[in-house]
Amino acid sequence: MTQIFSGRIALVTGASRGIGKAIARVLGTNGAYVIGTATTENGSQGITKGFAETGINGQGLVLDVKDRTSREKFADLLSAAGHSPLILVNNAGVTRDNLFLRMKEEEWSDVIAINLDSVYHLCRICLRGMVKARFGRIINISSVVAFSGNPGQTNYAAAKAGMIGFTRSLAREVGSRNITVNTLAPGFIDTDMTAALSEEQQTSLQERIALGRLGHVDEVANTVKFLASDDASYITGETINVNGGMYMV
């Protein structure tokens, strides 16, 4: 297999399961040294173990993206190890669904902090190294609901839409340094989250999708692989929709 990311360090937040795990795997199997983050020590150890079992060069580290102390410790660990990620995938995310009139302030603030503020913080950690190297790939994982909206998800939709505006603005700032910034907006993907839905709910979802099925995590991960590669060197400030035709912009 061609090691297209050989010599590059990739940082993937929220890499212990689902989409993040698949992204870490595809970048690692294509030569990147992958740092995957999880919010707990058990989660980070699971990432490290999974890498070792599949022959991926990398490690798991603990990072609570909404906690300042955790972010500072994480940044110090990267610096001490001499790790300067040139590929950053902002995948960490959470939902706290509720109808707006019932939504508690912490349900709003947690979702904004974990889904949107984290993009700011992780870019701050990685961007200086990218500028120095005059190369970088930043890929932000948004969602189809940034475009379509979804009842009970004003917080999540706001955060995911904010990522798109952030992407476009940062892309204009750093493009002259050969750094691209793009967003990927998945639709409904077959993960443990969607597996918890009833058969009736899954059937209803699939009826709204042109391809008539849920997406696979590898289909999202392979799109990230493309955006991180040299083949995508002239794509920046864009949002790639991976939703099977559920919502067409």
User: Any idea which residues carry the catalytic annotation?
Assistant: 156
Pairing of strands 136-141, 179-186: parallel
Angle 210-154-68 (CA atoms, 0-180°, nearest 5)? 115
Write out the E strands in the chain: 9-12, 33-38, 58-62, 87-90, 136-141, 179-186, 239-242
Phi–psi pair at 149, nearest 5 degrees: 70, 165
Residue 57 Cα distances to 63, 71, 86, 140, 187, angstroms: 19, 23, 15, 23, 30
Look at the block and give the residue holding tokens 């989660």: 43
d(CA 45, CA 15): 11
d(CA 231, CA 249): 24
Angle 191-231-87 (CA atoms, 0-180°, nearest 5)? 60
Would you call 29 exposed, middle or buried from its count of C-beta atoms within 10 A (0-12, 13-18, 19+)? middle
